[in-house]
């Protein structure tokens, strides 16, 4: 295998492929060159942050994640800044999203769902005890590590207790509509405040329902109809749930926050208690926020150095190749059955430029605009789908001189629409995808 060439370095971190993308941030796979440890590097553009007046929210996200040190929360290692960028160094979690597990395998057995729910409640209880409310709990923000343990991520919408007004309530509306408590919806209609503790618990109840049922308890394409269903707790538990599970879900999805079950009550619930083992971990010393202050004061003496080399298909070494495959199983990486995921990959013996040309040829008839930059492409559907315009990002990596790996990832839009697009795309790329002799025999 060819030696990897560093395309970009930020301080002591070697920066690789893009693994996530949002409105204000891009997340890259990176590696600590001193320890070899893989990390996720969240990169924010300072100009965008200031333009959209997001500095305080970003600073809050960083301070929150530094404050929360729990085995089931994605760890924040450090924060750095350059003249134009903010870099947040996070734990690299390899097991994917809990959302993908549900979409791929459907509803869970009660014992499996209970284990994830127990870990979630333990994290939420820990956060609340430190004055932190997440406010956007949903399966997409729940990751899994290599051992199948829950890792709560994305505190970008979290609120610290200092944001609570004199009435003891929060007044900012945020979150994902299907998972949001009725009292949070009410802030839109009449500016009534809400208790972050009970609002987070409601979201936990929706998550538990999704884990056990395989679908949402409240869903409607019309936003006002959705609000009516949520405010009336208009849902029906599927018949396969045990009485204990139904009872607990009903007590959590109580539209009245004053009578909704509390965490201390959940902890003694008979269904919840089964096999419950709270994590044992050591609390560390007080959190140091000096690096956060330096970044947001934009002190030049603390600026991190950025180095770039000539663009080419990113070379990938064995370490990175294995890290892209869940459970360190290379069979998962090259498996053709990669449905129901937000990203998928294939290998090709074609030259990189030819792969780009073929993808462009295949995407345009499917209604996609194509934007190219070096060995990356962004495909944007001109027609809006269920969740806006589907955006697909592709990147080509060099595994060996005569072998490339192509990553196709949903950057924006509906996941199921992405699956449909990828099926159509893969049909058009049949002559590009590398097939082994065994594959060829199976198709005969």
Residues serving a catalytic function are 136
For helices 290-297 and 55-67, give the axis angle rounded to 10 degrees.
170
Query: With helix as H, strand as E and coil as C, how does the chain read?
Result: CCCCCCCEEECCEEEEEEEEECCCEEEEEEEECCCCCEEEEEEEEHHHHHHCCCHHHHHHHHHHHHHCCCCCECCEEEEEECCCEEEEEEECCCCCEHHHHHHHHCCCCHHHHHHHHHHHHHHHHHHHHCCEECCCCCHHHEEECCCCCEEECCCCCCEEHHHCCCCCCECCCCCCHHHCCHHHHHHHHHCCCECHHHHHHHHHHHHHHHHHHCCCCCCCCCHHHHHHHHHCCCCCCCCCCCHHHHHHHHHHCCCCCCCCCCHHHHHCCHHHHCCCCCCCCCCCCCCCCHHHHHHHHCCHHHCCCEEECCCCCEECCHHHHHHCCHHHCHHHHCCCCCCCCCEEEEEECCCHHHHHHHHHHHHHHHCEEEEEECCEEEEEEEEEEECEEEEEEEEEEEEECCEEEEEEEEEECCHHHHHHHHHHHHHHCCCCCCCCHHHHHHHC
229 is annotated as contributing to ligand binding: no
Numbered residues of the known binding site for ATP: 42
Binding residue numbers = 42
């Amino acid at each position: 295998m060819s030696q990897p060439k560093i395309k970009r370095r930020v301080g002591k971190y070697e920066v690789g492929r893009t693994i996530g993308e949002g409105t204000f941030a891009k997340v890259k796979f990176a590696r600590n060159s001193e320890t070899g440890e893989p990390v996720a590097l969240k990169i924010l553009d300072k100009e965008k942050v200031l333009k959209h007046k997001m500095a305080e929210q970003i600073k809050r996200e960083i301070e929150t994640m530094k404050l929360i040190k729990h085995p089931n929360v994605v760890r924040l290692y450090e924060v750095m800044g350059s003249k134009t960028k903010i870099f947040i160094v996070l734990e690299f979690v390899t097991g994917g999203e809990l959302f993908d597990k549900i979409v791929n395998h459907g509803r869970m057995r009660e014992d499996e769902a209970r284990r994830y729910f127990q870990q979630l409640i333990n994290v939420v209880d820990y956060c609340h005890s430190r004055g932190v409310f997440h406010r956007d709990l949903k399966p997409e923000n729940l990751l899994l590590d290599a051992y199948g343990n829950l890792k709560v991520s994305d505190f970008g919408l979290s609120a610290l207790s200092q944001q609570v007004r004199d009435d003891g309530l929060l007044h900012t509306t945020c979150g994902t509509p299907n998972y949001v408590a009725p009292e949070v919806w009410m802030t839109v209609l009449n500016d009534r405040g809400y208790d972050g503790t009970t609002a987070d618990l409601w979201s936990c109840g929706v998550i538990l329902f999704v884990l056990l049922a395989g679908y949402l308890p409240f869903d409607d394409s019309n936003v006002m109809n959705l609000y009516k269903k949520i405010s009336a707790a208009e849902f029906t538990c599927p018949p396969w749930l045990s009485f204990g599970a139904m009872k607990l879900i009903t007590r959590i999805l109580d539209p009245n926050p004053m009578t909704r079950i509390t965490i201390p009550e959940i902890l003694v619930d008979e269904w919840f208690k089964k096999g419950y083992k709270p994590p044992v971990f050591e609390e560390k010393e007080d959190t140091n926020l000096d690096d956060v202050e330096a970044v947001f004061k934009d002190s030049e003496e603390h600026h991190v150095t950025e180095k770039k080399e000539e663009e080419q298909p990113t070379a990938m070494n064995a370490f990175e190749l294995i890290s892209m495959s869940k459970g360190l199983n290379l069979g998962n990486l090259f498996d053709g059955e990669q449905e129901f995921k937000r990203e998928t990959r294939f290998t090709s013996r074609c030259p990189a430029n030819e792969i780009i040309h073929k993808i462009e040829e295949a995407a345009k008839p499917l209604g996609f605009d194509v934007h190219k930059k070096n060995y990356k492409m962004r495909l944007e559907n001109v027609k809006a789908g269920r969740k806006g315009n589907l955006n697909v990002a592709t990147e080509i990596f060099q595994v060996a001189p005569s072998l490339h790996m192509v990553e196709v990832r949903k950057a924006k839009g509906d996941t199921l629409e992405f699956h449909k697009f990828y099926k159509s795309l893969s049909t058009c790329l049949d002559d590009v995808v590398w097939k082994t002799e065994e594959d060829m025999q199976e198709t005969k």
